[in-house]
Amino acid sequence: MTAGKKTELKRTIGLAALTLYGIGDILGAGVYGLIGKAAGEMGSAVWLAFFVSMVAAGLTGLSYASLSSRYPKAGGASYVTYRAFGNSALSYMVGLTVLASGLTSMATAARVFSGYLCAMFPFLPLTLTALVFSVLLMLLVFWGIKEALIANGVCTLVEIGGLLLILIFGATYVGSTNYFDAITPTNPTGDITLSLCLTGAVLTFYSFIGFEDMFNVAEEVKDPRITLPRALIGAVLISSLIYMAISIVAVSVIPPAELALSRQPLVDVMRKAAPWFPTQLYSVIALFAVANTALLNYIMGSRLLYGMSNQGLLPIKLSTIHERTKTPYVAIVTMWLLFVILIVSGDISSLAKSTSVLLLICFIIVNASLVVLKRKEKIPGSFEIPSIVPICGALICGAMLWRAKAPEWITAGSLIAVILVLYAVLRPTAKAIESIDELN
């Protein structure tokens, strides 16, 4: 076992595998529970919230695609933030904010996974099942990126298959409702306003989170300057189309008010659209989706720690690569320890609700970074976009942040404060900061 600068990550990810990685990460487990909540906010016009989120994710996704074709580094958003602004504290905050969102998503997924499994096998202890799940996940990620992505591919195909079943069996219901009817208890007049769409989009935007994770596996991608932007755009486009279709079918099959009260909205949609289909089998599909969410966030988080370590923003030990598996095993074990703490810490729902706020802040910074770098550095990429795209991406993310609620801001602000305290404690040296530019 040697240090990260002596042993490099192994480039094994091609276009198809990376696109599946992105689709699996974006679709994730969120849509299986989020449709109902979104319908409660938007009524039958729920597709509009997904449309606004799609635009925000699409514009920011284009910025990520352009940046990844210029700087294919494992540090991702943290790296380009430093390139643009030369501020190590800001770079540190962006990196660890993305990491915090990944960890909360992993812990939530582990607890949801154990909940599903324990419902099927009541004799299993809930917390112990989640901990065993975390160990198995750690071993898979340590085993190798190729093996982890094979598992991701299987989970993603099962997950997409489950969503396609809903689209197929629910297709006959399409047209049975007014898709511009936004009447809900919180919107009794049914008026469709920009404020309503932005409020709904803050909720549905969580479903689109995941495309940014693709940046962090850049050093394991074949021909990353070409492959990364193509895979990223493809993943965002395919996922967006699936979300739009699912939202329309769901409110066509079950009235929005009823859907909003459901604990398993898509299972209920399937039960009504295809009553002969065994609902237990759909629960198994949901298990694959939840496991996939945790797996992909684990890969992202470990590579982010590795990348920030190489940048000099975290202890250099975190960039240590295992000689045989070619994986950043110290970062993987560190992620597991944090993972376990969150699993056993109790209710993390308030933390999870702030994930969108944290990432929207990061997306504004990343969009701004591209605008600055296009002027500051004449480094050509294989995928170029005009400056108006990241500017619009930043503006729409800002508009969505404006509609976030006070508790979400308080939690997000507290997390950022903790991150800045960590930066003050683990402040990188001036030499380490200067060496970041040499990593490109």
Given a contact cutoff of 8 angstroms between Cβ atoms, the answer to whether 71 and 83 are in contact is yes
Residue 260 makes CB contacts below 8 A (sequence gap 6+) with: 36, 37, 39, 40, 184
Residue 89 vs residue 390, higher pLDDT: 390
- The answer to which of 10-14, 73-77, 265-269, 377-381 has the lowest mean pLDDT is 73-77
In a domain, 4, yes or no: no
In a domain, 9, yes or no: no
The CA distances from residue 58 to 16, 370, 390, in Å, are 20, 15, 10
Range of the domain at 319: 15-439
pLDDT in tens, 92-103: 888 888 888 788
In a domain, 200, yes or no: yes
pLDDT in tens, 208-266: 777 777 776 777 888 887 888 888 888 888 888 888 899 899 999 999 888 888 777 88
In a domain, 133, yes or no: yes
Which residue, among 66, 367, 372, has the nearest Cα to 233 in the 3D structure?
A: 66
In a domain, 5, yes or no: no
pLDDT in tens, 7-60: 566 778 888 888 888 887 788 666 766 788 788 888 888 888 888 888 888 888
Assign residue 214 the CATH number of its domain.
Answer: 1.20.1740.10
Which residue, among 362, 388, 422, 397, has the nearest Cα to 102 in the 3D structure?
A: 362
For 58, the token pair is 């699409």
In a domain, 1, yes or no: no
Report how many domains make up the chain.
Answer: 1
In a domain, 267, yes or no: yes
Report the half-sphere exposure of 424 (CA within 13 A, side-chain side).
6
| Predicted pLDDT of residue 174 | 93
User: Average pLDDT of the chain?
Assistant: 82
In a domain, 10, yes or no: no
